[in-house]
Structures are given as structure tokens and as C-alpha cells.
Structure 1
Amino acid sequence: MRLWLIFPVLMAVVLGARAPNAQQVDFVIDATLPVRDTELPYTLDLNLSAAAPTRVGVGALLDLREVQKTVPERLAENAIVDNCGLQVRLDEFGFEAQDDTIDLDGQVTITIFECSRTSERDFQRGEQKNAVQANMSTEATVELRDNCAYFELIDLVLTAPEAQREKLLEDDTLASVKKLMLAAVDLVLNETPLCPVLPAELASLDPVYDTGGPREIGEGGLGVFLDGSVDVSPSTILDILTVLQQQELIPGPP
């Protein structure tokens, strides 16, 4: 039997995976996404399929529905922007997948303060001048960089109540808030990429992902897919055989 047929079978034995046929194997891995000082659980559904005599196709689906439920609760009442003259607090929000995009909606409270310079570099916040609650909506997508999936906002729309919109537009407040929010959110998203980590039994595979993007799971459930391949070298096969021998699933060396 050729290596491209042997390999998926070996993976199925090592990981107790579902093997629908000799050229394809699926299995599920529990993983976590580190976000600042916490870790959020998600599920990685990995598919290996025979692609060529020396290549195995890899399809990874990251199920982020638990993250989708947890993040809005943890970020509620947090300030997205908080500087001397402006605070933007995230009151509530939620997001869901729609086909190949991610829709996000919520409400923010925009508070404007007096701000005075106290030295060449320092400023001091003064009294509150104005506060308004605005609706926020945006779309996000996924960009694949360095084998990791990064979330990126496509645009951000802020709308204020009619009674206060004119004053805010005169002060160019909404445009300024939008710019600062995009910068702040982009910074956080760039610090929290999705980089699937395989368990020790698969570490030597080192898959290379070529494409990726959002994917809806069920109705509105957030998922991210990654497609790529693995170079099935002799050393990789030997690593898998070693694992099989260590687990006494096949006889060891004579």
C-alpha cells in the first residue's frame, strides 16, 4: 500500500478518529484561544484526506460557538476607548456568522470630557461635557497570515439618536469615535490570532494552510475554516509509527 493510503489509516489508529474510508479521516480536538489574561475554549474539527503520493490534504474547521457566547458577556460594560477627552463604553453587543461574513451589532455610550494640558506631555480629564448612546454595526472577515486566522473589521457604522446627532456631527464626534474604535479593535484582534495547535501526536505534521475564512455553523454559529496540506515525508511516517509502537498498537522493533 502506498504512503498516501497508509498515512490516514495510521492517523485514525493513533487518535481514535472516525475513518470513513482508507483515504480520509476526521477527528475532533478540544483547544483554547488565549485572549489577554484568559483562555476561551473552542473545537477543532480536522480532516485529513489523500491528495497525492506525497501530500495529504488538510481541512480544519474551528467551531467558535462557545467563544461567540462568552465574549459578549465578558466585554459588556468595558471601555473600548478611554483617553483624556473621550470614553467609549461597550454596553452590549452580539455577533453571528452569515454565510462567509460575520455581522456584529451593539450599543456604545460615548462620553465627552473637558481635557486640559498640565505639561508638555500630560493632560488631565475634567468635567463631563456630553454623553450619548449610539448604535454600532459592523462586518468582519478573516485573513490568513503566517498559518493563522486573523479577524478584521470591514467597516464600522455608528448612529446616534436624532435629537443629538446634529450636535455630534457638528463636532465631528462620530467620525473621531469611529476612527479611534477601529484602531483599538484592530489592535486587540491582531493580538489574538487563531493559530490551530495540534496535539503531540500530530505535531510533526506541520500543516500549511493556503486559504481560510468565516463559515456559518448551523444558524448563525461562528466558525472559521482553513484549507491546506501536509508534506508526507518519510520522517513524518516514522514519527507516527513510533507513536503507534509507544502505545503498543503495533509491535516494536525487533
Structure 2
Amino acid sequence: MRLWFLIPALMAAALGARDANAQQVHFDIDATLPVRDTELPYTLDLNLTAAAPTRIGVGALLDLREIQKIVPERMADNAIVDNCGLQVRLDDLSFQAQDETIGLDGGVTITIFECSRTSERDFQRGEQKRAILANMSTQATVDLRNNCAYFKLVDLTLTAPEAQREQLLEDDTLDSVKELMLAAVDLVLNETPLCPELPAELASLDPVYENGGPKEIGDGGLGVFLDGSVDVSPSTILDILTVLQQRKLIPGPP
């Protein structure tokens, strides 16, 4: 963990001072997001601000730009829908933050197969009937629940080449694929919330986040902000001071 500290700032916060210009302390924490059988790296920028004699304001910015680079590569190797009669793969996925929204675009390969029943419960995939190359665009937002940030797709649009559009409209293929994609992606997103965890020496802070949402970092970089607070107690102040003493940023006990 890397930490930058302004001594008057922390002491003002710890003692409940009210001068807003001298009441901030910043932590830069390396973290990971577990996603099924892998972990994706991100950075948690944590700012503490003295808000009242018994409360410290907390502003957390989750810098997800590394995840933004890694996820499209991982998605390209995996079908997001894969059942007996249908396989859907994402190609050239990209997502970009703009202000407080997240836009996702990419190509979608839709492969339709023959599917025959082999028993009361089992089916067998047969020959490929056709493959469709479509374009996908959608937006995502962030829901804050139980101190965790959950990504959620707002809607999803699929468009196909003109030559295939008439047949696709006739048999509702795109609408069916859209619903399956939304269900599959929502399942994954609900399984992988962003729940910022503090290192053990700061765990007693136990911030409560009340607001959150997407935030652009730099030019299109993906971030999530969380705003909340920490109730100040003697043990909380002592833990913060102990961390600073361990890093020799303030003098140790006499």
C-alpha cells in the first residue's frame, strides 16, 4: 500500500477540527476483484476528510482501467451464451466511460445449430444452420447495495447486416439473443460486485457508503466513485495513528 500524508490534515481529522483545507488524508491501495477462477487488479484511492467532531467523510475512487484492458481479451475467448441450439460470442468488445456513464460496443457472433432431443431431459447439438455477425451497443450503470457497487446493463441493442435483417426479424432471432445475453451478463455481474476492502490495519474504519456511480478517469478511463462516512471512535483514531507511526510518518510513542 502506498500512502501520501499531510500531518496537519490527519491530526485535524482525528481531533474533529473543522478547517476544511487541513483535514484530508489519502490512501492508495492495490486491490483485486475476484471473478470466478481469476482475479482482476484495480486501485482504490481512499480519501478521509474531517466532516464533524464524531464523523469522518470517506471518498473512494475505484480505478478500473486495468480491468478495462483485460476484460475484452478474456471475453473474446469465452461464449457468453452456449446452449444446444445457440452460441453467442463477443468480438472486439470495448467499453469507455464518459462523465458518469459507461458505454459498451462490440461485434457479436451468433451461431445457430440444429438441436435434437435425445431423452426426456437431454439434447444433442447437431450441424450448424447459420452464423450471423451483429453489432452490439449498450450502456451500464452502477447500483450501490450493501456497501458494494454492482454493474448493471441499462439496455442492449443488436443490429445485423441488411442482407440478414429480414430473416432475423421474421423469426425474432435478435430479440431472443438479446434477452439471453442480458440474462447471462446480469448473472455474471451480480456474482462479481465491487466491495472495496481495506487492509487489515485500517479495517476498523469500516466506512459506510451512501452514494456511488460511474466516473470517467482521464480520457475514457473507467472508474467508480463511492461516497460515505466513518463514525469516529477512540479505537479508530488509534488505528489510523498506528498506521502512520508504522510508516514513520509521525513520531512513535515516547
1:118 aligns with 2:121: no
| Secondary structure of 2:189's aligned partner | helix
Structure 2 match to 1:39: 39
Counterparts of 2:96 and 2:81 in 1: how far apart (Å)?
23
Runs of 4+ in 1 over 3 A off after TM superposition: 4-10, 238-249
Counterparts of 1:28 and 1:205 in 2: how far apart (Å)?
15
What RMSD over aligned residues (CA atoms) do the two structures have, in Å? 2.0
Instruction: Give yes or no for contact 1:91–1:106 (8 Å, CA) kept in 2.
Output: yes
- Unaligned 5+ segments in structure 1 are 11-19
Counterparts of 1:247 and 1:30 in 2: how far apart (Å)?
17
Q: TM-score, normalised by structure 2?
A: 0.89
Instruction: Give yes or no for contact 1:148–1:194 (8 Å, CA) kept in 2.
Output: yes
- Alignment of structure 1 residues 12-91 onto 2, 5 Å: 22-91=22-91
AA of the residue aligned to 2:252: I
Structure 1 match to 2:253: 251
AA of the residue aligned to 1:160: A
Counterparts of 1:62 and 1:123 in 2: how far apart (Å)?
44
How many residues end up aligned between the 2 structures?
240
User: Identity across aligned pairs (percent)?
Assistant: 82
Counterparts of 1:245 and 1:67 in 2: how far apart (Å)?
33
| Secondary structure of 1:92's aligned partner | strand
Structure 2 match to 1:13: none
| Secondary structure of 2:229's aligned partner | strand
Structure 2 match to 1:17: none
1:244 CA drift (Å): 5.7
1:148 aligns with 2:154: no
AA of the residue aligned to 2:70: T
AA of the residue aligned to 2:235: S
Q: Structure 1 pair 49/241, CA: closer, same or farther in 2 (3 Å)?
A: closer
- Unaligned 5+ segments in structure 2 are 1-8
1:239 aligns with 2:244: no
Counterparts of 2:100 and 2:245 in 1: how far apart (Å)?
43
1:219 CA drift (Å): 0.9
Instruction: Give yes or no for contact 1:30–1:41 (8 Å, CA) kept in 2.
Output: yes
Instruction: Give yes or no for contact 1:92–1:106 (8 Å, CA) kept in 2.
Output: yes
Q: TM-score, normalised by structure 1?
A: 0.89
Instruction: Give yes or no for contact 1:157–1:178 (8 Å, CA) kept in 2.
Output: yes
1:164 CA drift (Å): 0.6
Q: Structure 1 pair 131/226, CA: closer, same or farther in 2 (3 Å)?
A: same
Instruction: Give yes or no for contact 2:202–2:239 (8 Å, CA) kept in 1.
Output: no
Instruction: Give yes or no for contact 1:9–1:22 (8 Å, CA) kept in 2.
Output: no
Q: Structure 1 pair 77/243, CA: closer, same or farther in 2 (3 Å)?
A: closer
When structure 1 is superposed on structure 2, of 228-237 and 56-65 the one drifting more is 228-237
